[in-house]
Amino acid sequence: MIGDRKVLFSGMQATGNLTLGNYLGALQNWVNLSEEYECFYSVVDMHSITVRQDPAELRRRARALLTLYIAAGLDPEKCCIYYQSHVSGHAELAWILNCFTYMGELSRMTQFKDKSSKHADNINAGLFTYPVLMAADILLYQADVVPVGIDQMQHLELTRDIAQRFNAIYGDVFTVPEPYIGKVGAKIMSLQDPMKKMSKSDENPNASIYLMDDPDTIMRKFKRAVTDSEGSVAYDEEKQPGICNLIDIYCACTGNSRDETVAEFSGKGYGEFKTKVGESVVEKLRPLQEKVAELEKNKDFIDSVIKNNAEKAQYVSNKTLRKVQKKVGFPERIR
Ligand code: ATP
Ligand code: LTN
């Protein structure tokens, strides 16, 4: 708790350009949750270097992501929006928690297995201990809730295990966090393969709508979206996964229900439906894109958010860190 509010922590990696899936499934929920919780939203740049990055590109994307957090509606006066690498406690706590995490646990993580097969030439120790750094992110702020996608649930379970293990030895040091899985836009699928989720690291640019795509690009990608030969707009996950995905996107962008959408397009062709879905996405993203453009002109403002919020995060996280250091037996600091 901070004051009388529960604490929320979440983060995103600055690898690749954000997609409509990231926005509808994560960022938009974050904004709604920021009314209720004391929020820490980090750009987790330290996690990004588990895979080789071009330094200039990583820096550019990290700033673009931080800007997008604000453009999406997160108020940097109310939420703490900051770069993970600017707060030293993440690395310091991660080291300690490494000593409370088992090799067996880490080797069962599916993300590690996936990423090590994708990057077989660079299976580094950071990739292996990635979930421990994530646990440190969450536990440093004594987070009560963590909004994550289903793919991150295994890491969150591990975080809970580490916290409980530590607490069992040293008393109630860490809050044991609960996951929060949003309902709306929980899973937006690829436009080219509706069995795969839309992902910012997809190699096919037509599979994803990027948040900064211009209207023509968005309309073109929807026109090319994979559908089926049924020929009617209906919500049938087995037979029409592509159409279901387009219905979900349309609902998320217009606020209409599935039933309303199916009724609206009854008797109409896929071409017309795709055009309407595309237009709803263009309208949904327009204010976001305008806000990004406006913020990008205001370098001093973004710089001040970066500085002030890192200081706030450092202050809050230090409290947990000092307590943990004391518990494990590090010598007291002399003032
Ligand atoms: P990558 O391709 O680099 O693995 P990603 O696009 O899958 O990235 P993450 O960085 O893993 O995205 O996730 C950031 C947040 O966006 C998470 O909370 C995740 O659940 C959410 N998210 C990602 N893809 C989707 C999607 N297709 N639909 C809904 N939410 C999504
Ligand atoms: N692993 C997450 C990003 C992430 C995160 C976190 C999410 C890093 N630290 C702490 C929630 C809480 C991802 O790749 N989506």
Residue 145, helix vs strand vs coil: strand
Q: Return the bridge partners of 12, or none.
A: 43
Please give the structure tokens belonging to residue 30.
């974050």
Q: Annotated catalytic, 115?
A: yes
**Tell me, what's the pLDDT at 186?**
65
What is the residue extent of each domain of the chain? 7-180+299-328, 215-293
Residues 161-166 have a mean pLDDT of: 98
Residue 199 pLDDT > 80, yes or no? yes
Q: What is the per-residue pLDDT across 15-46, written as a single tens digit (0 to 9) for each?
A: 888 999 999 989 999 999 999 999 999 999 99
Ligand 1 center to residue 168 CA distance, Å? 33
Listed range (181-190, 209-218, 237-246) with the worst mean pLDDT: 181-190
Q: What's the longest Cα–Cα distance across the chain?
A: 77
CATH code assigned to 215-293? 1.10.240.10
- Residue with CA at minimum distance from ligand 2 atom 5: 11
Q: Name the residue with the closest Cα to ligand 2, atom 15.
A: 12
Ligand nearest to the CA of residue 182, numbered in listed order: 1
Ligand found nearest the CA of 203: 1
CA of 152 to the centre of ligand 2 (A): 7
Residue nearest to atom 9 of ligand 2 (CA): 134
Measured in Å, residue 185 CA sits from the centre of ligand 2 at 18
Q: Are 190 and 162 spatial neighbours (Cβ–Cβ below 8 Å)?
A: no
Beta-bridge partners for 7: 38
Using an 8 Å Cβ cutoff, are 324 and 317 in contact?
Answer: no
Average pLDDT in the 121-139 region?
A: 97
> Distance (Å, rounded) from C-alpha 296 to C-alpha 72?
14
DSSP secondary structure letters along 174-222: S---EEE--STTS-PBPSS-TTSB--TT-S-GGG--BTT--HHHHHHHH
| Average predicted confidence (pLDDT) for the chain | 95
3-state DSSP call for residue 147?
strand
pLDDT of residue 226: 97
Residues 238-257 have pLDDT tens digits of 999 999 999 999 999 999 99
Alpha carbon distance 66, 287 (integer Å)? 17
Q: Which residue has the higher pLDDT, 8 or 3?
A: 8
Is the pLDDT higher at 2 or at 277? Answer: 277
Q: State the pTM of this model.
A: 0.93
User: How far away, in angstroms, is 30 Cα from ligand 2 center?
Assistant: 13
Q: Which ligand is nearest to the CA of 190?
A: 1
Residue 276 has pLDDT above 90, yes or no: yes
Least confident of 97-106, 123-132, 164-173, 180-189: 180-189
Question: What is the per-residue pLDDT for 187?
Answer: 84
Probe residue for ligand 1, chosen from 10, 22, 45, 209 as the CB with the greatest number of ligand atoms within 8 Å: 22
List the structure tokens of 24: 């509808």
Closest ligand 1 atom to 190 CA: 27
Q: Which atom of ligand 2 approaches the CA of 147 most closely?
A: 11
**Is residue 114 in contact with ligand 1, taking CB distance under 6 Å?**
no
To the query of whether residue 78 is one of the catalytic residues in this protein, the response is no
Predicted pLDDT of residue 286: 98
Mutational pocket test of ligand 1: of 191, 199, 208, the residue with most ligand atoms within 8 Å of the beta carbon: 199
Candidates 6, 187, 200, 327; catalytic one: 200
Rounded-to-integer distance, Cα 10 and Cα 152, Å: 11
pLDDT score at 16: 82
User: Cβ(14) to ligand 1 under 6 A?
Assistant: no
Can you tell me the mean pLDDT for 211-230?
97
**56 pLDDT exceeds 90?**
yes
* End-to-end CA gap in the chain: 28
The region of weakest confidence among 132-141, 145-154, 326-335 is: 145-154
Its CATH architecture, for the domain 7-180+299-328, is 3-Layer(aba) Sandwich (3.40)
Closest Cα partner for 199 from 22, 9, 3, 12? 22
pLDDT digits (tens, 9 = 90+) for 63-118: 999 999 999 999 999 999 999 999 999 999 999 999 999 999 999 999 999 999 98
Catalytic site includes residue 200: yes
Contact 284/255 with Cβ under 8 angstroms?
no
Question: Residue 185: is its pLDDT beyond 60?
Answer: no
| Band of pLDDT at residue 182, cut at 50, 70 and 90 | confident
Confidence of residue 184 (pLDDT cuts 50, 70, 90): low
Mean pLDDT of 305-332: 98
